[in-house]
């Protein structure tokens, strides 16, 4: 499945991912100690929703535009993060994860972003200019392992691959196993598309075998029944989510389900433990 960020900027998966990312980092920031935030597949950092690639799919209409039309105050933090990169009231630009994370930085926090694709890496450098972020252009999996453990006592790694390679899930599984040995207490967030339920269940059972404690799976299914051959939703694996985050999840998940449900569908969003 080809998932270049620019074609899908601001879609329903981005709304869920960025809403949860904001809530997660805010929960960790309830403690004063410094955080290192690492984004392994950072993309361009900023996307033009009126641009050719975003327009070709039109996915923002079912994502960020639905979130902006929604009235739930639970989504205010998400909408504020999108507004922060826009001059006008309506969103014309969409912040990728690096921009969302940059907005959350406190003076003591560090941000490291990485993008291997040369064209996207150049765009990322431009988008992050004037920010304290360190920008890398390396293999994501090599960087993920190399930068752990973080220099600060606490950190978050965001792994958000395009799933273009057939071995992407295998690389995530093996790298996660290796990073967990080096950095067992760290918080890791792994994004994934939901397309083929059987393949996804196989992957989950492989991840379960790693025996990593405190391993949460949040899944957003857009439709009430699987739509064959198309994108059915997306999810996040979250390792070591803080208690304050898990406590605040139910109202956030329900607000996201309501805002993003396609016409005629109720949709479903769940949070379960693979291991606890």
Residue 41 marked ligand-binding: yes
The verdict on whether residue 48 carries a ligand-binding annotation is: no
Whether residue 184 is annotated as binding a ligand: the answer is: no
**For every residue of 101-168, which 3-state class applies, written as one string?**
HHHHCCCCCEEEEECCCHHHHHHHHHHCCCCCCEEECCCHHHHHHHCCCCCCCEEEEEECCCCCCCCH
Long-range contacts of 137-140 (CB under 8 A, 24+ apart): 138/114, 140/40, 140/41, 140/114, 140/116
Its sign, for the CA torsion 77, 81, 83, 84, is positive
CA 221 to chain CA mean position, Å = 16
* Rounded distance between C-alpha atoms, residue 35 and residue 155, angstroms: 5
Q: Out of 109, 160, 170, 224, which one is annotated catalytic?
A: 160
**Cβ-contact 261, 267 below 8 angstroms:** yes
Is there a binding annotation on residue 70? no
160 is catalytic: yes
Q: Is 139 annotated as a binding residue?
A: yes
Residue whose token pair is 């033009």:
48
18 with 78: CB under 8 angstroms?
A: yes
Residue with tokens 């309501």: 258
Catalytic residue set: 160
Binding residue numbers for S-adenosyl-L-methionine? 18, 41, 97, 115, 139-140, 160
């Amino acid at each position: 499945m080809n998932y270049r960020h620019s074609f899908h900027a601001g879609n329903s998966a981005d709304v869920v991912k960025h809403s949860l990312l904001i809530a997660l980092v805010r929960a960790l920031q309830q403690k004063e100690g410094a955080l290192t935030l690492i984004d392994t597949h950072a993309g361009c950092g900023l996307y033009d929703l009126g641009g050719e690639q975003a327009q070709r799919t039109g996915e923002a209409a079912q994502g960020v535009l639905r979130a902006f039309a929604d009235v739930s105050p639970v989504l205010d933090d998400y909408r504020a993060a999108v507004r922060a990169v826009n001059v006008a009231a309506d969103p014309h630009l969409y912040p990728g994860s690096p921009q969302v994370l940059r907005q959350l930085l406190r003076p003591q926090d560090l941000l490291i972003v990485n993008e291997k694709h040369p064209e996207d890496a150049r765009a990322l450098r431009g988008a992050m200019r004037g920010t304290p972020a360190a920008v890398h252009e390396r293999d994501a999996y090599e960087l993920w392992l190399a930068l752990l453990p973080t220099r600060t006592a606490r950190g978050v790694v965001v792994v958000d691959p395009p799933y273009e390679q057939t071995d992407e899930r295998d690389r995530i599984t093996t790298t996660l196993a290796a990073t967990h040995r080096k950095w067992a207490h760290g918080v890791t967030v792994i994004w994934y598309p939901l397309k083929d339920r059987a393949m996804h269940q196989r992957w989950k059972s492989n991840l379960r075998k790693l025996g990593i404690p405190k391993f949460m799976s949040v899944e957003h299914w857009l439709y009430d029944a699987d739509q064959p051959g198309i994108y059915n939703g997306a999810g996040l694996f979250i390792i070591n989510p803080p208690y304050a985050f898990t406590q605040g999840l139910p109202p956030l998940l329900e607000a996201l389900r309501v805002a993003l449900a396609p016409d005629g569908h109720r949709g479903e969003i769940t949070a379960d433990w693979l291991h606890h």
